[in-house]
């Protein structure tokens, strides 16, 4: 069975534990719902944050969802001038028989501007 990647990103208004965890949890839940993923199908998850997020590891949101057996890692994005601030990015690797063009990538809040070409148009993404 192939491994596929699901990309997603979101933003927060401020670097506060609760905001980071809530935004990450929301993103993860939508990513798995839209792609019909079960936790046992997840091979690993990579999280990145911009340098202005220092309050909490976003991977904690996945643990809060019960993903206790999933390998998780957090990284800091490289700093690029004029990049989107207060941004959390996620890459979920899943074991799936889906084709790449069947994967739904999710971009919420201000992160929609990162990939307007593939950002989902669901009402949940208009936050």
Nearest to 120 by CA among 109, 110, 107: 107
Active site residue 109: no
Contact (Cβ atoms closer than 8 angstroms) between residue 49 and residue 10:
no
Indicate the burial class of 102 (C-beta count within 10 angstroms; 0-12, 13-18, 19 or more).
exposed
Catalytic residue chosen out of the listed positions 34, 87, 107, 112? 107
Catalytically annotated residue among 7, 22, 26, 60: 7
Whether 25 is catalytic? no
Determine whether 87 is an active site residue: no
Among residues 77, 79, 102, 112, which one is catalytic?
A: 77
CB contact at 8 A, 103 and 118 = no
- Marked catalytic residue, from 33, 63, 102, 124: 63
Active site residue 74: yes
25, 26, 60, 74: which is the annotated catalytic residue? Answer: 74
Q: Is 63 a catalytic residue?
A: yes
List 4, 89, 109, 112, catalytic entry: 89
Q: What are phi and psi of 7, to 5 degrees?
A: -95, 145
Question: Which tokens hold the place of 32?
Answer: 């798995």
Mind telling me the catalytic residues? Answer: 7, 63, 74, 77, 89, 107, 115
């Amino acid at each position: 069975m192939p491994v596929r990647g699901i990309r997603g990103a979101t933003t927060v208004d401020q670097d506060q534990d609760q905001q980071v965890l809530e935004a990450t949890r929301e993103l993860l839940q939508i990513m798995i719902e839209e792609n019909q993923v079960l936790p046992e199908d997840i091979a690993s998850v990579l999280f990145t944050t911009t340098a202005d997020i220092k309050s909490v590891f976003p991977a904690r949101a996945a643990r809060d969802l019960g993903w206790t057996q999933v390998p998780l890692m957090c990284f800091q994005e490289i700093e690029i001038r004029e990049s989107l601030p207060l941004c959390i990015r996620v890459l979920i690797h899943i074991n799936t028989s889906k084709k790449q063009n069947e994967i739904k990538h999710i971009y919420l809040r201000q992160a929609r501007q990162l990939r307007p070409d593939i950002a989902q148009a669901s009402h949940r993404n208009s936050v």
